[in-house]
Structure 1
Amino acid sequence: MEVVVAPVAELARLAADAVQRLLTARPEAVLGLATGSSPLAVYDELARRHAEEGLTFARARAFMLDEYVGLPADHPERYRNVIERDLVSRVDLAPGAVHGPDGLAADLAGACASYERAIADAGGVDLQLLGIGTDGHVAFNEPGSSLASRTRIKTLTRQTREDNARFFGDDLDAVPTHCLTQGLATILSARHLVLLAQGRHKAEAVHQLVEGPVSAMWPATVLQMHPHVTVLVDEPAASRLQLAGYYRETWASKPPWQGI
């Protein structure tokens, strides 16, 4: 696990560099897209590179991490619509290239199984962007989630719903109770995981992710078992890291050609 502590703009640039290197080497690469506030600066940077530098997504495909259950198709906070607004409409991803779990399916369990097959049929995800919740969840794998879990329906914790209420006019009752989410084992199947976190409110979750024991109580800690994980955090999010000085030293000593 590589940890980089830097300003948010620098973190976004590093994540965008990784995406650009991948698409340059493999234009048909499969991306994993996250929603929420953590990847927004990355999407802004990718959109800028597309508009100003010709970065193309035309042959790429993408899979989303999760989706609320039951939100109407035109709801602005349905994750299909969020990712359309934040990234897809700003670059040249082909129509139908972005896939997400179907939170409106009549058979939710069947939709989850189909989503797992679709990821496998695409050859798996090459680079997965991730955020982390204040309680250590990744995607919507809440505390207590099986470390071997696959895409499934989950019940959101009250804390997660309170954290997300800001997207629903601060109305907790408007936040769905259920979601479909890639499981932790599904996420671990991606070849490169890039997790971003900003703000002091994420500091304890980042500390557990990087330096805590692997535990279902902090689901993100399972990422310690992956061979290629990059954790990009700003100074406030890094404030609880015991080895922060070491992480800064290793990053400063890294050969510039190596990338993340």
Structure 2
Amino acid sequence: MEVIILPGNKEVGVLAADAIESLVRKKPRAVLGLATGSSPLPIYDELARRHEEHGLSFSQASGFALDEYVGLPVGHFESYREVIRREFTNRVDVAPENVHGPDGAATDVEAACKAYEEAIKAAGGVDLQILGVGTNGHIGFNEPGSSLASRTRIKTLADQTREDNARFFDSIEAVPHHVLTQGLGTIMDACHLVLVAFGAGKAEAVHDFVEGPVSASCPASILQFHPHATVIIDEAAASKLVGAATYRHAYDNKPHWQGL
């Protein structure tokens, strides 16, 4: 796991966008794993800017969302399919038919989850997965206690997660209790994981998954087992890392040719 500490969220977004641009230019048919929430927004803003100003193209790329709420009407403003369209794919030239998400409106949830796993596999797997981390250490919507080998499935949201996400809805009562989410095993199949986090509110979770034990009680800690995981955080999110000086030294002296 590589941990990179930068001054603020803009710098974090730029560096993560560098990794995505490098991938897409080398592999135009790249498969991107798309996250929602606040953390990926600086990445999407930077990629949209590069598309508009420098012609960075995603016309042959495809994307798979990490998760989706269960029970929201199709087209709901806060459904993750709509959030991804609004924040990223409608701002670049990704073909709409190449953007996929779990079917939160499915009547047969198990079949929908299996179909989503099969669709990712049929696309050749995810080349680069964007991730955020919840205050309780979740990635995707794999809440504490999730199996480290889990695949796409339905999950019940923790109270803390619903409270954290209430800012996107009129009230906490409007936040669904259930989601479909890629499992930890599914996420770990991606070739490159890029997790971004900002702010002091994420500092405890960042410390736990970077420097704590690998445990289902902190689902993001599974990244310690991934052969190519990059964690890009701001100073506030890094404030509880014991090894912060070591991570800074390693990045400052990293061979340029290695990239991310």
TM-score per shorter chain, which class? over 0.9
Corresponding residue of 2:23: 22
Partner amino acid for 2:97? G
Q: Displacement, 1:256? A: 2.4
Aligned to 1:257, the other structure's residue is in SS state helix
Equivalent AA in structure 1 for residue 126 of structure 2: V
1:127 and 2:128 correspond: yes
Question: Hey, what's the Cα distance between the residues in 2 that align with 1:29 and 1:172?
Answer: 37
Counterpart residue identity of residue 91, structure 1: V
Q: Tell me what 1:156 maps to.
A: 157
Deviation at 1:209, TM superposition (A): 1.0
CA distance in 1, matches of 2:96, 2:235: 38
- 2:95 is matched with 94
What's the counterpart of residue 215 of structure 2? Answer: 215
- Please report how far the alpha carbon of residue 9 of structure 1 lies from its aligned counterpart in structure 2 after TM superposition: 1.4
Letter of the 2:194 partner, please give it. V
- Residue 8 of structure 1 deviates from its aligned partner by 1.5
Letter in 2 for 1:96: E
- Equivalence map 1:1-260=2 (5 Å): 1-6=1-6, 7-169=8-170, 171-260=171-260
Q: Which letter maps to 1:216? A: A
How many pairs are equivalent? 259
Give me the identity figure in percent: 64
| TM-score (structure 2 length as normaliser) | 0.99
Q: Aligned partner of 2:178: which letter?
A: H
Q: Please state how far the C-alpha of 1:38 moved relative to its aligned partner.
A: 0.2
| 3-state SS in 2 of match to 1:124 | coil
Structure 1 CA distance for aligned equivalents of residues 116 and 158 of structure 2: 23
2:108 partner amino acid? D
- Deviation string 1:184-241 (CA, Å, 9 cap, x unpaired) is 0000000000000001010010001110000000000011100000000001100010
Aligned-residue offset at 1:99: 0.3
- Once the two structures are TM-superposed, the CA of residue 34 in structure 1 deviates from its matched residue by 0.2
CA distance in 2, matches of 1:143, 1:176: 18
TM-score, normalised via structure 1 length: 0.99
Q: Which runs of 5+ in 2 are unaligned?
A: none
Q: Deviations over 1:90-113 (max 9, x none)?
A: 000012110000000010110000
Amino acid corresponding to residue 50 of structure 1 in structure 2: H
Q: CA RMSD in A?
A: 0.6
Following superposition, the deviation at residue 258 of structure 1 comes to 2.0
Structure 1 unaligned segments of length 5 or more: list them: none
